[in-house]
Amino acid sequence: MLQHRANISGVILAGGKSARMGTDKALLKVGPYTLIETIAGVFRTLVDEILVVTGRPEKFARYGDKAVRDILPGHGPLGGIHAGLVQAVHSRVLVAACDMPFISAPLARFMIELPGDYDVVVPRYRGYAEPLCAIYGKGCIEVIEQRLTRGQNKITGFYEQVRVRYVEEEEMFQVEPHLERVFLNLNTPGDLKKARSLGGWY
Ligand SMILES: Nc1nc2c(ncn2[C@@H]2O[C@H](COP(=O)(O)OP(=O)(O)OP(=O)(O)O)[C@@H](O)[C@H]2O)c(=O)[nH]1
């Protein structure tokens, strides 16, 4: 069945060091697929184009339509979001970290289809923004660039300068009952063990 895909690009961030995990997180398996395969599989149903933003494009090219490098390297995930936004075909990008095994297609679709004109659409769960599972518009590029060049790498740091739509828990629960694991990201071997014990992935 052909699924509706919006005019939006997908950006998978895979340029981290995985130092705490001790091995490349994107290629770890939780369930039958590696993390990057899982995220790319979900993105395929939602977006027109998938960019993997990584320091090693040759290793990751096959997981997306394109693998691209950070334009301003050494700034962490915000540098990856910036590179994805600049190099995406579409004016909006759906961003996910490569270490989120339970990313939710229904929630992402809900965010994509929200009416209104925003620069950022970001879930807020248990009082905190989830900036690595969010939508960013090209209108953010300039302000991100300014911050990165000043060494201000905190992702949510630029939110007060743009139009942000927070997606609240009560809205999210309507489309995704398993919020407690949707935003789980894996940093350590202990996190990996926990995720594997949860099971129930797609
Ligand atoms: N493109 C890009 N992605 C990054 C960069 N740093 C982190 N990421 C990605 O952002 C997400 C969150 O990264 P973290 O877990 O905070 O950092 P990490 O470097 O992967 O892991 P640690 O080395 O253990 O801190 C992951 O998907 C990373 O691959 C970067 O400099 N560039």
What is the complex's ipTM, to 2 decimals?
A: 0.99
The alpha carbon of 99 and the centre of ligand 1 are apart by a number of angstroms equal to 9
Domains of the chain: 9-198 (3.90.550.10)
d(CA 37, CA 147): 31
φ/ψ bin of 100: left (φ > 0), alpha (ψ from -120 to 50), beta (otherwise): beta
State mean pLDDT over 112-128: 97
- Please tell me if the CB atom of residue 97 comes closer than 6 angstroms to any atom of ligand 1: yes
5, pLDDT greater than 90? no
1, pLDDT greater than 50? no
pLDDT of residue 2: 45
Computed over every residue of the chain, the mean pLDDT equals: 95
200, pLDDT greater than 90? no
Q: Tell me the C-alpha to C-alpha distance, in Å, between residue 11 and each of 15, 67, 150, 175.
A: 11, 10, 24, 22
Q: At what angle do helices 77-87 and 141-149 cross, to 10 degrees?
A: 140
- Please tell me if the CB atom of residue 77 comes closer than 6 angstroms to any atom of ligand 1: yes
Instruction: State pLDDT tens for residues 174-189.
Output: 999 999 999 999 999 9
State mean pLDDT over 21-45: 97
State mean pLDDT over 15-27: 98
Ligand 1 atom 19 nearest Cα:
16
pLDDT of residue 199: 74
The alpha carbon of 115 and the centre of ligand 1 are apart by a number of angstroms equal to 31
pLDDT of residue 6: 74
The alpha carbon of 120 and the centre of ligand 1 are apart by a number of angstroms equal to 20
pLDDT of residue 201: 56
- 76 annotated binding-site participant: no
